Amino acid sequence: MPAPADVAHDIRVLIVDDQSMIRAGFEALLNAHEGITVVGTSDDGAGIAEVVRRVQPDVVLMDIRMPKVNGLDAARTVMGLPGTPPKVIMLTTFDADEYVFSALRAGASGFLLKDSPPEELTHAVRIVAAGDALLSPRVTRALIADYAARPAAPASADVSLAGLTDREIDVMKAVAAGRSNAEIATDLHLAEQTVKTHVSRILNKLGLRDRTQMVVSAYESGLVRPGR
């Protein structure tokens, strides 16, 4: 899969996980790739604010399940730091983790399984550092399965799509289906830059931070439903 444009400096990564082998493995893997540097590791979410201030990462790889301060609470702390906080990618060993939506609402930019292929992890770090957001395909399928298992509910009153154009609705549906900008451009017979413009306008109109929040909003608004 194509890598996003290079950032101006090495992507600084902080790894937060209670398993030492996971921390060591991820650190070795990421440091082996040009343009990525692991600047710190931690075994818990406790004291995360001080660690972030000290090492100043661009991206935090955060285990969602830790014994003292879990990744969800730690992500909230990170996203609440003054200035521009680092991007957070949540890590889990479970395909269907009940914390997925809570983590995304807390400000996480992505969600990956710990057993994802190495290239998927490095790609995730680069994508998120470049300002995009992602969910691993398996986690996306788990989200859809979770929605499918829920009783039918009316669209949330908190999510209004009334200000979107028909084309923006088409793009939002495609994003919710996990399509990349290039794939959407092909599907809708548009230039890729035009798709990027539509995505930016959707985010601005709905007051969303990134594509991940757009996916959540697409489901919560009733725009997209499992099986459609």
Amino acid, res. 53: R
Percentage above 90 pLDDT, the chain? 32
Q: List, in order, residues 6 or more apart from 103 with CB less than 8 Å away.
A: 64, 71, 72, 75, 90, 111
Task: For Cα atoms 75, 78, 84, give the angle at the middle one, nearest 5 degrees.
Answer: 130
CB 57 within 8 A of CB 131: no
Task: Dump pLDDT digits (tens) for 27-50.
Answer: 999 999 999 999 999 988 888 999
Task: Dump pLDDT digits (tens) for 117-167.
Answer: 888 889 889 888 877 666 655 565 566 556 555 555 444 444 578 889 999
Dist. CA 71–CA 3, nearest whole Å: 27
Dist. CA 51–CA 13, nearest whole Å: 12
Mean pLDDT of the 58-81 span: 87
pLDDT at 7: 46
- Measure Cα distances from 120 to 47, 117, 137, 204, 209 in Å: 28, 5, 10, 28, 22
DSSP E strand boundaries for the chain? 11-16, 36-42, 59-63, 87-92, 110-113, 134-135
CB 92 within 8 A of CB 114: yes
Phi, psi of 167 (to 5 degrees): -65, -40
Structure token digits, residue 183: 């794939």
> Is pLDDT larger for residue 97 or for residue 204?
204
Task: Dump pLDDT digits (tens) for 189-213.
Answer: 999 899 999 999 999 999 887 777 7
Instruction: Say how many C-beta atoms besides its own lie within 10 A of residue 194's C-beta.
Output: 16
Residue 6 gets which letter from DSSP? Answer: P
The whole-angstrom distance between residue 202's C-alpha and the CA centroid of its chain comes to 17
- What is the model's pTM? 0.68
| Average pLDDT over the chain, rounded to an integer | 80
